[in-house]
């Protein structure tokens, strides 16, 4: 069978491709497989159609550093170094960048309320001369193909490829050689670590400009005045975050507290951290679809446009790495297990579900089986014994803490954009002796042809020997209240709906503009100023977004006040203030939006239907404006218990207006917010904001913000 893309414009196809959500068509040839010479499938291993045997590696777990055992006056040193590793048992060794020699880096465990100081070191140097290390892989750009975006993305997602020789300029290069992305061969190591989700002052937060060269150490203090949560640390160097994270610079940071301890939640051998990301591989010279891997990763992007209009779709890859291994396998006892999930991808949005594959027997000559939006693969959901386990994943926590109560993943799947985390329990007691797979259902395929992404992430082999399990799923988890928005736009943030009510001090308005706006190649992130009170002749015709008000309300008129990272700071927040952030997504790819410094809850999600090309009707990309007010958007997807958890990162879909609420207390300084598609962050989708004590902010003559407290909302 073949999968044809729905009849959409090139712009919409590009939007899907930017998050790994484009279901690539099967090429009109007989199904075939790539193979690695001499690869034998020992034990539970299974062949794949992308050249590597599945389940050849046992799932590694990074070393654990329990910082609760450190003397209070002793900092914890964590150093980034080049190390040699195998991404798969059948691949040669390659160099990666890793914290303390591990991918992911050591899992740092801390206690809530106990400060930990970490000395972050940069030892990313060459072996011979101790010079700043170059990237441990090449970065290539697949030129735009005659078949359009779909054809270019398919070629970029073919397993393998390599960089053209510098002196060849494309002449006499093999078919699988592609031009280097200009400037990437000159990149050398410079690092700054961001502890994603940490409530800490700005000078500890990993400000992107504050990079350290090799031989330097940066001491950061983390108060850990937070509830139990799954955080992660990663490099955040200005303009090159996408390259250093792809090289391996990421790790888990777990906060534990008395609430978690009292619940007796699983830990130790029954708690796994899973850093999930996609990757492509470099191959020896050959045809465009030949596959003789060198062992190195390859950063292979689909190019869009040429000359001054040239840009790239964010990188995705056909293989899934879990803790640094492609398609690993894990032995588990038939009892409750805890999975700490992290989407560490540069761009790919994941929809993860657990499958019982014990009787799954897909014939070797089968055509590719594409993922369905309702779960499962192929046209026949009962084929081959495939069985999605709809109640298997029980979510107990999101980015910033535990949920009020356990929640079965809606439809059996959890959605994770880059940077998002999920704390999940799985009861394997009734699955003794079964073989399971954790799969990504977002635009993936079983038995893919080259150019398509494989759905497999991780195999779990459940033992058949019964075990005594004293764990009981708690009925309640976090005592924290779920916040609710009232019709008067005030928010209930505590158990008493009459007294625990706040009105945000500020409303911040952000606009996500689609690629192509005013001729720009990348999607854009605009900070908006409320100019509703200006006379019409002073409003202007560019970068103005007009939103209809509710009954009896005048329109809200917003104009872009800042677009690039180095534009003037416009968001100034008083420490301790409750702030509502509103993200208006006018079209293009979905964006996982991350705000540093504090945690939030989603309080409202509304949406417009998209028009031709995937943009909100009424938005003019040529001027970046809505000449007339956009209508009040209708209801968006319901905020379910998982989406409504305490978080710091959310995927905002095109056409949505998403509002989140947070209290900016407990830290001060200059921070960042951005799209967590790292290619977007490194280009045009990151901005700063400042939090100051209220008395100092009152003396700051230039403070401002996107406030509009007149009751308008998405």
pLDDT in tens, 352-387: 999 999 988 888 778 899 998 888 898 887 777 678
Specify the domain boundaries for CATH 2.60.40.420 within the chain.
Answer: 10-57+321-462, 484-698
pLDDT at 612: 86
Q: Report phi then psi at 697, rounded to 5.
A: -60, -35
Rounded to whole angstroms, the Cα distance separating 214 from 227 reads 34
Q: Report phi then psi at 10, rounded to 5.
A: -60, -35
Where b means 16+ CB within 10 Å and e means fewer, 161-183 reads: bbbbeeeeeeeebbebbbbbbee
pLDDT at 394: 98
Whether 551 shows a pLDDT value over 50: the answer reads yes
pLDDT tens digits, 183-202: 999 999 999 999 999 999 99
Is residue 106 within 8 Å of 62, Cβ to Cβ? yes
Whether 29 shows a pLDDT value over 70: the answer reads no
Eight-class DSSP state of 588? S
Record the tokens describing residue 451, joined without a space: 């150019």
Closest CA to 319 of 49, 664, 500: 49
pLDDT band at 712 (very low <50, low <70, confident <90, very high): very low
CB atoms within 10 A of CB 117: 16
pLDDT tens digits, 381-424: 777 767 899 999 999 999 999 999 999 998 899 999 999 999 99
Bigger pLDDT: 73 vs 428: 428
Query: For residue 14, how many C-alpha atoms fall within 13 Å in the half-sphere facing its CB?
Result: 27
pLDDT at 86: 98
The length of the chain is 714
User: What CA–CA distances, in Å, run from 90 to 48, 52, 438, 579?
Assistant: 13, 7, 22, 51
Q: What contacts 535, CB < 8 A, 6 or more positions away? A: none
Is residue 346 within 8 Å of 276, Cβ to Cβ? no
Instruction: Tell the burial category of 601 from Cβ atoms under 10 Å away from its Cβ (0-12, 13-18, 19+).
Output: buried
The residue behind tokens 């006056």 is 73
Rounded to whole angstroms, the Cα distance separating 341 from 277 reads 11
Q: Report phi then psi at 308, rounded to 5.
A: -65, -20
pTM reported for the whole predicted model: 0.94
Whether 31 shows a pLDDT value over 50: the answer reads no
User: What CA–CA distances, in Å, run from 241 to 201, 351, 555, 668?
Assistant: 21, 24, 39, 24
Which SS3 state, helix, strand or coil, does residue 442 take?
coil
pLDDT at 512: 98
Is residue 601 within 8 Å of 202, Cβ to Cβ? no
Is residue 349 within 8 Å of 418, Cβ to Cβ? yes
pLDDT at 39: 37
pLDDT at 714: 35
pLDDT tens digits, 629-681: 999 999 999 999 999 999 999 999 999 999 999 999 999 999 999 999 999 99
Apex 187 CA angle, 451 and 231, nearest 5: 70
Whether 465 shows a pLDDT value over 80: the answer reads yes
Rounded to whole angstroms, the Cα distance separating 13 from 5 reads 8
Closest CA to 17 of 140, 142, 128: 142
Instruction: Tell the burial category of 620 from Cβ atoms under 10 Å away from its Cβ (0-12, 13-18, 19+).
Output: middle
Q: What contacts 69, CB < 8 A, 6 or more positions away? A: none
Q: Could you check whether the bond before residue 104 is cis, i.e. omega within 30 degrees of 0?
A: yes
pLDDT at 171: 64
Which SS3 state, helix, strand or coil, does residue 358 take?
coil
pLDDT at 8: 53
Domain at 10-57+321-462, CATH from 3.30.450.40, 3.40.50.150, 3.20.20.60, 2.60.40.420:
2.60.40.420
Q: Please give the mean pLDDT across all residues of the chain.
A: 91
Record the tokens describing residue 21, joined without a space: 């959500």
Q: What contacts 99, CB < 8 A, 6 or more positions away? A: 78, 79, 80, 105, 106, 233, 249, 250, 251
pLDDT tens digits, 558-609: 999 999 999 999 999 999 999 999 999 999 999 999 999 999 999 999 999 9
**507 bridge partner residues:** 580
Over range 672-698, report the average pLDDT.
Answer: 96
Rounded to whole angstroms, the Cα distance separating 212 from 194 reads 13
Whether 166 shows a pLDDT value over 90: the answer reads no
Lowest mean pLDDT among 110-119, 226-235, 383-392, 595-604: 383-392
Rounded to whole angstroms, the Cα distance separating 243 from 457 reads 22
Rounded to whole angstroms, the Cα distance separating 628 from 649 reads 31
pLDDT tens digits, 150-165: 999 999 999 999 999 8
pLDDT band at 430 (very low <50, low <70, confident <90, very high): very high
Question: Quick one: fold of 484-698?
Answer: Immunoglobulin-like (2.60.40)
Lowest mean pLDDT among 183-197, 263-277, 541-555: 541-555
């Amino acid at each position: 069978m073949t999968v044809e893309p729905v009849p959409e414009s090139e712009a919409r196809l590009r939007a899907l491709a930017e998050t790994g959500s484009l279901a690539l068509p099967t090429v009109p040839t007989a199904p075939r497989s790539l193979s690695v010479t001499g690869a034998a499938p020992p034990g539970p291993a299974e062949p794949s159609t992308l050249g590597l045997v599945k389940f050849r590696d046992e799932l590694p777990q990074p070393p654990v550093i329990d910082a609760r055992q450190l003397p209070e006056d002793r900092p914890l040193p964590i150093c980034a170094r080049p190390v040699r590793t195998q991404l798969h048992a059948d691949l040669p060794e390659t160099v990666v960048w890793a914290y303390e020699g591990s991918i992911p880096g050591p899992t740092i465990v801390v206690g809530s309320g106990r400060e930990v100081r970490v000395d972050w070191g940069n030892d990313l140097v060459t072996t011979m001369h101790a010079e700043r290390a170059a990237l441990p892989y090449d970065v290539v750009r697949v030129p735009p193909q005659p078949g359009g975006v779909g054809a270019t993305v398919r070629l970029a997602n073919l397993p393998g490829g390599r960089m053209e020789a510098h002196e060849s300029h494309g002449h006499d290069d093999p078919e699988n050689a592609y031009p280097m992305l200009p400037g990437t061969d000159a990149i050398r190591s410079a690092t700054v670590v961001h502890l994603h989700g940490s409530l800490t002052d700005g000078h500890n937060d990993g400000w992107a400009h504050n990079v350290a060269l090799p031989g330097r150490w940066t001491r950061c203090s983390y108060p850990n005045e937070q509830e139990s949560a799954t955080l992660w640390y990663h490099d955040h160097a200005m303009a090159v975050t996408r390259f250093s994270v792809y090289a391996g610079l990421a790790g888990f940071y777990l906060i534990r507290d008395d609430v978690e301890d009292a619940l007796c939640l699983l830990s130790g051998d029954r708690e796994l951290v899973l850093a999930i990301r996609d990757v492509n591989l470099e191959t020896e010279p050959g045809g465009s679809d030949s596959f003789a891997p060198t062992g190195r990763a390859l950063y292979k992007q689909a190019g869009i446009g040429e000359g001054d209009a040239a840009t790239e779709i964010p990188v995705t890859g056909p293989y899934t790495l879990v803790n640094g291994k492609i398609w690993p396998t894990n032995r588990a006892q038939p009892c409750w297990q805890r999975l700490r999930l992290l989407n560490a991808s540069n761009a790919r949005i994941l929809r993860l579900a657990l499958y019982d594959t014990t009787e799954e027997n897909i014939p070797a000559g089968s055509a590719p089986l594409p993922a369905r939006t309702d779960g499962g693969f192929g046209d026949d959901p009962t084929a081959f014994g495939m069985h999605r386990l709809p109640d298997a994943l029980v979510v107990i926590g999101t980015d910033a803490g535990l949920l009020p109560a356990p929640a079965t993943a809606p439809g059996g799947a959890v959605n994770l954009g880059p940077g998002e985390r999920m704390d999940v329990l799985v009861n394997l007691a009734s699955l003794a002796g079964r073989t399971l797979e954790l799969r990504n259902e977002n635009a993936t395929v079983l038995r893919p042809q080259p150019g398509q992404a494989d759905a497999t992430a991780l195999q779990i082999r459940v033992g058949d020997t019964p075990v005594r399990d004293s764990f009981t799923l708690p009925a309640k988890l976090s005592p924290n209240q779920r916040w609710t928005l009232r019709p008067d736009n005030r928010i209930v943030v505590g158990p008493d709906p009459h007294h625990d009510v706040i009105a945000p001090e500020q409303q911040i308005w952000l606009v996500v503009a689609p690629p192509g706006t005013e001729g720009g190649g990348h999607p854009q992130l605009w900070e908006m100023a409320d100019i509703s009170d200006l006379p019409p002749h002073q409003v202007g015709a560019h970068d103005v977004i007009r939103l209809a008000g509710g009954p009896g309300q005048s329109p809200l008129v917003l104009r872009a006040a800042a677009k690039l990272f180095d534009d003037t700071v416009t968001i100034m927040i008083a420490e301790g203030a409750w702030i509502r952030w509103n993200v208006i997504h006018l079209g293009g790819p979905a964006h996982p939006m991350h705000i540093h410094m504090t945690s939030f809850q989603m309080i409202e999600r509304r949406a417009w239907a998209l028009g031709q090309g995937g943009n909100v009707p009424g938005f003019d990309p040529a001027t970046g404006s809505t000449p007339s007010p956009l209508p009040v958007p209708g209801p968006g997807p319901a905020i379910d218990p998982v989406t409504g958890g305490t978080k710091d990162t959310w995927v905002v879909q095109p056409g949505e207006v998403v509002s989140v609420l947070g209290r900016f207390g407990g830290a001060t300084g200059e921070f960042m917010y951005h799209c967590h598609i790292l290619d977007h962050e490194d280009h045009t989708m990151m901005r700063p904001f400042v939090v100051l004590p209220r008395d100092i902010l009152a003396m700051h003559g230039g403070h401002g913000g996107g406030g509009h407290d007149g009751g308008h909302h998405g």
